[in-house]
Amino acid sequence: MNENQTIFQICGEVYKESKSRRDVAAKIEKHLSWLQAEEKEEILKMSKEGKSKDDIKKRLFEMVEAKEKDAGEKEKTVKLCYAWMDDVATKEEIEGLHKLHHVDHGACKKKVREFIGRLPEEKQKAVEASLPFCEKLWYGDHASHEGHEGHGDHSGHNHHHIKRRHLAVIEKYIEWLDEIQKGAIRELEASGADFNVIADKIKEFFHLLPEQKQTDVKEKFQNQCMTWAKEVSKPTEWEEIKKLHAAEDFNTLKLKLVELEERLTENQKHTIEHVRGVCYRLWGIKNLARRRRVPNSEASFQEKAAKYLDWMNEEQLNELKRLKSEGKKSEVMKAILKFYDETTGDAKEKAEGKLKEACKEYSVKAFGEEKVAQFKAQYKKLKDENAEQSEIEKLSNQYIDEIEDEQKKDFAKAVVTGCKHVYASTRSRRDLIAQAVAEYLQNA
């Protein structure tokens, strides 16, 4: 039974003619236990006012969608959804289930159904009725994660979703964090933050370490990065890898490591997905290419600042330099947009023009000229058709998801986020002007 059919079935149960408010409330409690108290009251009111099944169904879907977008609501609802497990499973079993959820959704769903089988028959039916909604919230749209059949599941639109829930699989790489820092990282994960945000926070904590401790952590991390490759390679292959590294033949080395990844278990692949970028840098794979492109990082920054950021004051530019020197790349973009939002008057217009120029240049760097041209054509078509903003968002996400290299993908995300902000700001001002003109004409 698909989600739509289940929704209709639930609406049918709630909608059935009842003698009293208590009967309807009981049906809502049975079939819609995943709702908050005020939401149950709203559905109860709709039912008593004689609203149609379609109206109730529409409102339920709106509630589900709202919960998906709000990380706090999502977390609360998921807890409500699976609260029944406390009655039939031990604490250890539930903890094991949560760990399983991080690495294998298919096995996790199977275990949940095993727990459901321990419930009384009547309670089983109620839980099963809510399951489609609960799973949609807990797993999102990542339905193809069943058992991780093949490495293909790690690409495309599913990729960002995998990264979000896998802090558990990199625990051995972040043992150097103190308890307060680990708590901060866990809070970020619980909030539904993207893994890139979590990674940035880990880097921030790393830069707070004394220099010698940073060196020790790097050495340990490098050993952990090498361990997996050594475990799955043949002795002759491992010798070849060491020679490639010594000879700084990083292109061949990267190809060899990618080949070795295919020999890992699915759980090991998940771990590598999260630490691949850092491991490659420690192997030296990424750094050489970066040095060739940017021989002098300081000179490069000055050049870009003169070209696109000449609307900033010296204090703001120094703040960007500080963030960049501390390795807080994601914070640099946030700071630029913050300073842009704070700018007014002629300086604002200048900043807008400069940042739009930057958007054009960096969009081509992120996606290539051909992809940018394709996007513009598709974007224009959607605008001409008065498409919903969600369709435009979906289009930009599609182009990002097609990028396989994690570092390039992160760069593309940053470009899209920044450019969306600049262009949205322009649209907002246009809307305000249009509103002012309309009000003036109306009152003239």
The pLDDT score that the predictor gives to residue 50 is 83
- Entry pTM: 0.34
CA dist 157 and 155 (Å) reads 7
Alpha carbon distances (Å) from 307 to 135, 293, 347, 390: 49, 18, 15, 33
**Looking at 94-98, 157-161, 226-230, which range is the least confident one?**
157-161
The pLDDT score that the predictor gives to residue 19 is 43
Q: Where are the alpha helices (DSSP H) in 284-328?
A: 285-293, 297-308, 314-325
- Higher pLDDT among residues 271 and 306, named by residue: 306
Element (H, E) at 440: helix 406-443
- Higher pLDDT among residues 7 and 97, named by residue: 97
- Going by pLDDT thresholds of 50, 70 and 90, the confidence category of residue 444 is very low
CB-based contacts of 159, cutoff 8 Å, min separation 6: 401
Where does CATH 1.10.533.30 sit in the chain? 308-436
- pLDDT > 90: what percent of the chain? 1
CA dist 122 and 23 (Å) reads 16
Q: Which CATH number fits domain 155-291: 1.10.3470, 3.40.50, 1.10.10, 1.10.533?
A: 1.10.533
Looking at the predicted structure, is the pLDDT value of residue 390 above 80?
A: no
What would the CATH number be for the domain defined by 308-436?
1.10.533.30
Looking at the predicted structure, is the pLDDT value of residue 273 above 60?
A: yes
Give the DSSP letter string of 82-105: TGGGGGTS-HHHHHHHHHHHHH-H
The pLDDT score that the predictor gives to residue 325 is 79
Element (H, E) at 345: helix 345-367
- Going by pLDDT thresholds of 50, 70 and 90, the confidence category of residue 433 is very low
- Higher pLDDT among residues 412 and 132, named by residue: 412
- Going by pLDDT thresholds of 50, 70 and 90, the confidence category of residue 290 is very low
**Most confident stretch, 3-12, 220-229, 274-283, 339-348:** 339-348
Looking at the predicted structure, is the pLDDT value of residue 120 above 70?
A: yes
Looking at the predicted structure, is the pLDDT value of residue 262 above 80?
A: no
The pLDDT score that the predictor gives to residue 374 is 83
Under DSSP, is residue 196 helix (H, G, I), strand (E, B) or coil? helix
Angle at 123 between CA 122 and CA 126, to 5 degrees: 95
Looking at the predicted structure, is the pLDDT value of residue 442 above 50?
A: no
Q: Which of 142, 198, 128 is nearest to 170 (CA)?
A: 198
pLDDT, one tens digit per residue, over 304-353 is: 777 888 888 888 888 888 888 777 777 888 888 888 888 887 788 888 88
- Going by pLDDT thresholds of 50, 70 and 90, the confidence category of residue 172 is low
Average pLDDT over the chain, rounded to whole? 73
The pLDDT score that the predictor gives to residue 140 is 60
Q: Which fold has domain 3-139?
A: Death Domain, Fas (1.10.533)
The pLDDT score that the predictor gives to residue 174 is 76
Looking at the predicted structure, is the pLDDT value of residue 75 above 70?
A: yes
Report the pLDDT averaged over residues 17-39. 65
**Looking at 20-24, 91-95, 246-250, which range is the least confident one?**
20-24
The pLDDT score that the predictor gives to residue 103 is 65
The pLDDT score that the predictor gives to residue 22 is 57
Looking at the predicted structure, is the pLDDT value of residue 277 above 60?
A: yes
pLDDT, one tens digit per residue, over 29-65 is: 666 666 778 888 888 888 888 888 777 777 877 777 7
Looking at the predicted structure, is the pLDDT value of residue 238 above 50?
A: yes
CA dist 20 and 47 (Å) reads 11
Report the pLDDT averaged over residues 57-86. 76
CA dist 134 and 137 (Å) reads 5
Extract the tokens encoding 127: 């839980």
- Going by pLDDT thresholds of 50, 70 and 90, the confidence category of residue 122 is confident
